[in-house]
Amino acid sequence: MRNLLLILLLAFLAACSQPRVDSTIRLNGTVENPSNEPIEFVFYRDFTNNHREIISLELNENNQFSAEFELPGPAAGTLRNGRSSIQLFLKQGDQLELNADANDWMASLRCTGTAGEVNQFIVNYQRDLLPGIGNSFVGNAAASLSPDAFKAILDSIAGVKAAFLAGYPGGDNFDPAFRKFFETEVRYDQYQRLISYPAMYQRSNQLEQAPDMPENYYDFLHQDNLFDDSRLNSETYVNFLLAYLGHCAQDPAFSFMEDSSEHEITYFLARDHIPSTSGEYVQAISINREFNYGDLDKAKALYDDFMASAASEDLKQRVTITWEGIQALMPGNPAPDFTMTDINGNEVSLSDFRGKVVYLKFWASWCGPCMRQVPPAKELKERLSGQEDLVFIYVSIDTDTAAWRNTIARNEITGVHFNTPGRERGVPTLFQVKWIPAFFIIGKDGNIFDNRPPQPADPGVEEALLKALTE
């Protein structure tokens, strides 16, 4: 017995003597010539519900900032200031010192600290390599090359990226977590672009249908190690999973009900074609997207199926949080009130419009689907011009306020306009906005009349608004 107590005591003392692991990330820096635009570090805390977190980097009187925060794991984030956007990579316990001139972030940014060398590599990679082989280059290649030639181009791009790391001074000593992350970004970006080629070629050449593909074109999708749960910290890997399922959905061997939504199809394909946690991860994305801007009955059916079949308790909890948030915004519940400064500098509250019907839109000037709703919205307003109790309110999530103002003026978007930088704070969070555009109809009583109304281009939008005006 005495020996057992001695062993336990020694084990306890050994545990106490181990250094405590500090998981806090410390981000410090100095910015010359700062603008009025906020400086922020933004990262995804949860891809399944498009949940990003913003770390505000407030400057003191010496133009210095200091922030401490936690990350869910090794991950990329974005340092942004106005139109400047630079990717960084951090993991638990990192300390990163940034020094830059806000007039040219990319050219001037210098990284030091324990995470300095890795992030200086990332900055140099984005500045020196990516501009020549980025979206524009790949898009032009997809528009003009045959499938085999396009595939050869992407092989070359992947090789150039790998060589950039291999030839970088000190790159061999980079943290294994980063090296795996970088390999994931290169590999699955290539796969996603290969999958996208037929649609890109068809769209660029204005064809009625996608081109026929060589028999062996998709052989890369049959690798034994294609799916890897340890890569779920990469947005590129997650987007590849979604692209892969979109490719699977084109297979005529699969048939779905005519009224099946895109997210229902993705959910069931993920269950059958992507193993383990990666498959359940995409299922959770599908449920959350159906909850956020799909059919609630379909979303609830998917949710119930997932709760009964999924192995991951973490993912079950994530979709449950979404479901609970959506219920608070169901028709008949009070619309969350807010007060903001409008585009003219006036303080305006949602409750100021009590007694009127509000058609509320969350959008951004850079959002293609949002902008496609602008012309039909203008026509809708003309058709309903006699309805004095109808108000159009727009909440933009633009971080570039000049772009927001210019877009409104150039497109003559009439209504009440507000701006909040990013959907991760303020009014968008009150309305659980995860993707844009997002629309709500708020009744004369201040309650939510419809939390999934037709968009301006949709059939039935006029009928929905007129119904709200009569109640």
pLDDT at 455: 93
pLDDT at 267: 96
Q: How far apart are CA 285 and CA 291, in angstroms?
A: 10
CA distances from 222 to 101, 186, 229, 244, 332 (A): 47, 18, 17, 11, 49
What are the tens digits of pLDDT across the range 329-367?
A: 899 999 999 999 999 999 999 999 999 999 999 999 999
Q: How far apart are CA 282 and CA 263, in angstroms?
A: 10
| Run of H or E residues at 462 | helix 461-469
Quickly tell me which residue has 């219920």 as its tokens: 327
pLDDT at 7: 44
Say yes or no to pLDDT of 132 above 70: yes
Say yes or no to pLDDT of 18 above 50: no
Of 22-26, 94-98, 224-228, the least confident: 22-26
Say yes or no to pLDDT of 21 above 90: no
**The tokens of 322 are what?**
């979404």
Please provide the average confidence, as pLDDT, over all residues in the chain.
91
Please state which CATH class domain 25-133 belongs to.
mainly beta
What are the tens digits of pLDDT across the range 365-415?
A: 999 999 999 999 999 999 999 999 999 999 999 988 889 999 999 999 999
Q: Decide which of 166 and 327 is more confident.
A: 166
What confidence tier does 253 reach under pLDDT thresholds 50, 70, 90? confident
CA distances from 404 to 81, 260, 344 (A): 15, 36, 13
The residue count of the chain comes to 471
What are the tens digits of pLDDT across the range 32-43?
A: 999 888 899 999
- In CATH, the number for domain 339-469 is 3.40.30.10
* Residue 322, Cβ density class (10 Å: 0-12 exposed, 13-18 middle, ≥19 buried): buried
Do residues 295 and 261 touch, judged by C-beta distance below 8 A? yes
What confidence tier does 3 reach under pLDDT thresholds 50, 70, 90? low
For residue 339, the cross-strand partners are 349
Q: Decide which of 256 and 233 is more confident.
A: 233
CA distances from 360 to 324, 403, 440 (A): 22, 20, 5
Residues 193-204, mean pLDDT to the nearest whole number: 95
- Boundaries of every domain in the chain: 25-133, 339-469
Residues 51-57, mean pLDDT to the nearest whole number: 89
pLDDT at 295: 85
Beta strand segments in 33-184, E: 39-46, 51-56, 64-69, 75-81, 84-90, 95-101, 110-112
Say yes or no to pLDDT of 17 above 50: no
pLDDT at 423: 81
| Run of H or E residues at 103 | none
